[in-house]
Amino acid sequence: MNKDFVKEITNIEEDFAQWYTDIVLKAELADYTSVKGFIAIRPYGYAIWENIQKYMDSKFKKHGVKNLSMPVLIPESLLQKEKDHVEGFAPEVAWVTVGGGEKLEERLCVRPTSETIFSTMYSKWLSSWRDLPYLYNQWCNVLRWEKETRPFLRSREFLWQEGHTIHETEEEAKRFTLEMLDVYAETIENLLAMPVLKGQKTKTEQFAGAEATYTVETLMHDGRALQAGTSHYFGQNFSKPFDIKFQNRQGEEEYAYQTSWGTSTRLIGGVIMAHGDNRGLKLPPKVAPIQIVIVPIAMHKEGVKEAAQELYKKLEKNYRVELDIREQYSPGYKFNDWEMKGVPVRIEIGPRDIEANKCIIVRRDNLEKIEVELSNLNEKLEEVLELIQKNMYDECKKRVIEKTTIAKNMDEFSNNLQQNQGYIKAMWCGDAECEEKIHEITGAKSRCIPFEQEQISDKCVCCGKPAKKMVVWGRQY
């Protein structure tokens, strides 16, 4: 094995941030471009996104959601219609001021999110309760002019889906907000093998203009949290300023009840940081662009290349498989290369294997080597890929459990966080000042008020006043 090759990646325990950057660049997931904060998502990274899209889009459609496409530019006057919303987003938008060689009469911002556009069109289209609900979504790019940027995690441009729905009743809209949160939770757990923490954001952390924001939180290798998806209930906060009205069943005019929900290419950053190790990326089989790579051993010997090609043809019907017959590299180099790229299963096949009608399969998750009869390969691969998917989830889950601690006072809070990072469960009085103070002292923010509550104590961890809500806290990406 070419040990030098592995050394090129920074040690994950020594410098996690640099390890992350190394993986993004060396596994060819993305690259920097000539504009700060704008990345090129390379084919290998984009293929992960395509698999996420395909999975999630079919789930949305089962809930009756339809896709559409709204304009990328929003007039300044539209952005300003909802007060909290403009305060939240105006500081971080990019403005188009010149078009077709002429200065524009009104500045147009590149969408940071599209509530204002959807609301304008919904107001135009809606007339009766019979038209409702509108369950629309778009897959698109958005811009937010962040100061600090990191590929996938915090880019000035990112790809996402934004769902925007309007409903006849408050109950229906609230229910739909949570249904979409469940789609996110299911996708992240089942496809991406990352356990999620579900709950409601505190007022401080909720979306600009929302009545309630729900979130799915995930925990990374270094114990910091990543917000992986959010779903917002708006009530009539947008439908009133944007005049989204309908004639209800009683023949009266009523404002619609609205939701929005989004997930982004940030999920790719999550997959990297939740699963990776010192050999590189580790991809869950269900989302991996390449599930299996075939590496022939002693390729120059008679019949080896052909046997590998035959294997490829046999497997490509059922799996996303790659055959590595590059002549300029040794098998050892290839092993490292594909391990770095996180391919879940490697198949090694050499002259002796061919003679014995066997091959070796190597699991990326735990490096286990398994000798398999060629006649039994298809079934064995199916079983192994499932095991890998499950094991990767279990490993993450174990980390979440290990890195979740309870704090009854601020000393415990700080100590736990310092020793362990991770999630801190602690009671909270509901006061935004306590949130701010906790953040100042520890660097942790409230992740959410989990749906699954525990009664840890009856006092706020910060001020000691009576507290009924348990909040999960943590440092975040």
> Which spans of this chain sit near a copy of itself (rule: CB under 8 A)?
31, 33-35, 38-43, 45-47, 49-50, 66-75, 78, 91-101, 107-108, 110, 117, 120-121, 124-125, 130, 136, 140-141, 143, 145-147, 156-157, 159, 326, 328
Q: How far apart are CA 169 and CA 326, in angstroms?
A: 60
Distance from chain centroid for Cα 387: 22
Q: In this complex, which beta carbon is closest to a copy of itself, that of residue 58 or of residue 455?
A: 58
Shortest approach of a copy of itself to residue 403 CB, angstroms?
33
Q: In this complex, which beta carbon is closest to a copy of itself, that of residue 99 or of residue 303?
A: 99
Shortest approach of a copy of itself to residue 185 CB, angstroms?
26
Q: In this complex, which beta carbon is closest to a copy of itself, that of residue 159 or of residue 181?
A: 159
Shortest approach of a copy of itself to residue 71 CB, angstroms?
4
Beta-strand runs (E) in 119-272: 134-143, 157-167, 197-200, 212-219, 225-235, 245-247, 253-255, 257-264
Shortest approach of a copy of itself to residue 92 CB, angstroms?
6
Q: For the packed helices 304-315 and 377-402, what is the interaxial angle rounded to 10 degrees?
A: 70
Beta-strand pair 39-41/66-67: unpaired
Q: How far apart are CA 231 and CA 263, in angstroms?
A: 9
Q: How far apart are CA 11 and CA 149, in angstroms?
A: 22
Beta-strand pair 445-450/134-143: unpaired
Q: In this complex, which beta carbon is closest to a copy of itself, that of residue 73 or of residue 456?
A: 73
Q: In this complex, which beta carbon is closest to a copy of itself, that of residue 57 or of residue 189?
A: 57
Shortest approach of a copy of itself to residue 229 CB, angstroms?
20
Q: How far apart are CA 64 and CA 135, in angstroms?
A: 7
Shortest approach of a copy of itself to residue 75 CB, angstroms?
6
Shortest approach of a copy of itself to residue 42 CB, angstroms?
6
Contact in structure between 244 and 255 (CB atoms under 8 Å) = yes
Query: Tokens 């778009």 label which residue?
Result: 138
Those residues with Cβ within 8 angstroms of residue 125's Cβ, 6 or more apart along the chain or in another chain: 131, 134
Shortest approach of a copy of itself to residue 41 CB, angstroms?
4
Q: How far apart are CA 425 and CA 470, in angstroms?
A: 7
Tokens of 215: 């979130």
Select from 449, 424, 453 the least CA-distant residue to 438. 424
Q: In this complex, which beta carbon is closest to a copy of itself, that of residue 146 or of residue 395?
A: 146
Select from 181, 177, 157 the least CA-distant residue to 167. 177
Q: In this complex, which beta carbon is closest to a copy of itself, that of residue 117 or of residue 220?
A: 117
How many CB atoms are closer than 10 A to CB 21? 16
